[in-house]
Amino acid sequence: MVLGGMRQLETLAIAVFVFQETGNAFYVAMMFFIQRAPLIPFGLAFGVVTDRFNRKAMFILVFAIMAMTAAVLGVLALQDRLEIWHIVIGVFINGVAMTTEFSLRKPMLADSVGSAQVGRAVGLDAALLTSSLALGPVIGGGILQFVGIEGVYFFGVLAYAFAAFLIYAVRYQRPTAPVSRPNFIADFGAALSFARSRRVIMSILAITVIVDLWSTPIRSMIPVIGEDELGVSPLLVGVLVSAQGVGSLIGAVTIALRMAPKQFGRVYQYGAFLYLLPALLFSLSGWYAVSLPLIFIGGMGHAAFSSTQSALMLMATPLEMRSRMLGLLSAGIGVGPIGILNIGLMASLFGAPNAVTIVSIEGLIALGVVTLVWPMLRRGEDVSPAE
C-alpha cells in the first residue's frame, strides 16, 4: 500500500509541477514514460532473478534506494536547485524499483496464503492498493500546493523508511526450496513457451497490453486537462485524479467480497471496457462537475481490471512458474511507455482532450478484436493449470 500510495502521490505532484514549469503536455507524458519504461527489461529480469535470492532482503533494499533518491531530490528542491533532469533521474530510479511489484511483493503474498486462497488474497490486496489510488493524488496535490515539491519528496523519505521497517518485521519464508535452473536465457525461454502453450495466459497478456497501451496513458493527461482545460487548482486536480481511486476502491472491495474467483475472467475483460468508455466521454466533457463522476466510473472499471489481473495469472500458473509469469505480465504492462509517448505527441499536436478521444476509440476497437479472438475469459472458462 505504501509503494502504491507514494507512486500515485509522486506521480500527480510531479505531473502538475512539470506542467507548471514547462507548460508542455508532452513533458508531462514523458515523466510517465520514463517511470514505466523500465517495466519491460527490468520486469523480465527481476522475474527470473528474484527466484534465486532472498525476496524479503531484496524488497527492503528497494525501499532503501527509493528513500535515498527522495532524500536527495528533496534537498535539491529545498535549496532551489531542483532541475527537470534531476526529476527525470528520480522518476527512472523509482520506475526500476517499482517493477519489483510483480516479481517480489505479489509472489510473497501468494506464497503466504497458499494456492487455494490466491484469488481472494490478491483481490483484497488490490482493494488496499486502490485506496492509495484514492488518497495519494489528493495528498500529493495538497502537499504541492501548500508546501512545495520538496514536501512531496521528504514525505516520500518517511513513507519508504516506514515500509522498509514493515517488511523487516514481517515473518516470511518461501514454502518450497528454490529450484536450480540452468541460466537466465533458458528461464526466459521457458516462460515464453509456457505462456504460448496456454490460451488463457495469452488472453490475459493481450488485454494487459491493450489497457496499458491505450487506457493507462490517459491518466497522464488528467492533470493536464484539469490544469489547462478545466482551470482548477493543484488540489482540485488531485481530487479529480483521486475520483478514479475512489471508484477503484469501491470496485475492488466489491469484487474481493462479492465475486467468486471463477468470475474473475469476465470481470477482468469487461472491466477493461469500463475503464475506456468513461475516458472517451471525459475527453468530450469540458466541465469539472461532469468530469468528476466520469473519472469515478472509470475507476470502477480500473478496479475490475487491475484487481483480477494478477489473481488470474497466479490462478493460471503452477507454483514453480509464478515469478516468471508475473515477470512476463510486468513486461506486458511495460508497453505502457509506448502508449504514453503516443498520447504525449498527440496532445502536443491536437491538444490533450483530442488525444484522449483518439486513444480511447483505438483501445475500444482493439479490445473488441481480442474479445473475439480469445473468448475464454468472457465465457468464464476454468483458468487453472490442469487442463
Question: What does the domain layout of the chain look like in residue ranges?
Answer: 2-173+183-377
Alpha helices per DSSP H over 37-102: 39-49, 55-78, 84-98, 100
Low-confidence residues of the chain: pLDDT under 50: 177-179, 182, 387
* Under 8 Å between Cβ of 70 and 154: yes
Measured CA to CA, the distance from residue 347 to residue 19 in angstroms comes to: 13
Q: Which of 264, 267, 284 is nearest to 275 (CA)?
A: 267
Measured CA to CA, the distance from residue 376 to residue 131 in angstroms comes to: 30
Question: What pLDDT score was predicted for residue 261?
Answer: 80
Question: What pLDDT score was predicted for residue 234?
Answer: 81
Helices (H) and strands (E) counted in the chain, each on its own, are 19, 0
Question: What are the angstrom distances between the C-alpha of 180 and each of 106, 189, 359?
Answer: 21, 16, 44
Place of cell 476502491: 249
Measured CA to CA, the distance from residue 79 to residue 60 in angstroms comes to: 29
Place of cell 486513444: 359
Joined together, the cell numbers standing for residue 175 give: 514454502
Task: Give the contacts of 110 (CB within 8 A, at least 6 positions apart).
Answer: 118, 121, 122, 314, 322
Question: What pLDDT score was predicted for residue 11?
Answer: 78
Place of cell 482540485: 236
Measured CA to CA, the distance from residue 302 to residue 277 in angstroms comes to: 11
Joined together, the cell numbers standing for residue 91 give: 522518476
pTM of full prediction above 0.85: no
Question: What pLDDT score was predicted for residue 387?
Answer: 46
Question: What pLDDT score was predicted for residue 353?
Answer: 93
Task: Give the contacts of 199 (CB within 8 A, at least 6 positions apart).
Answer: 374, 376
Level-2 CATH architecture, domain 2-173+183-377: Up-down Bundle (1.20)
Measured CA to CA, the distance from residue 202 to residue 372 in angstroms comes to: 13
CA geometry: angle at 235 spanning 233 and 238, to 5°? 110
Residue type at 255 in one-letter notation: I
Place of cell 535452473: 181
At how many degrees (to 10) do helices 234-258 and 288-315 cross? 40
Question: What pLDDT score was predicted for residue 130?
Answer: 64
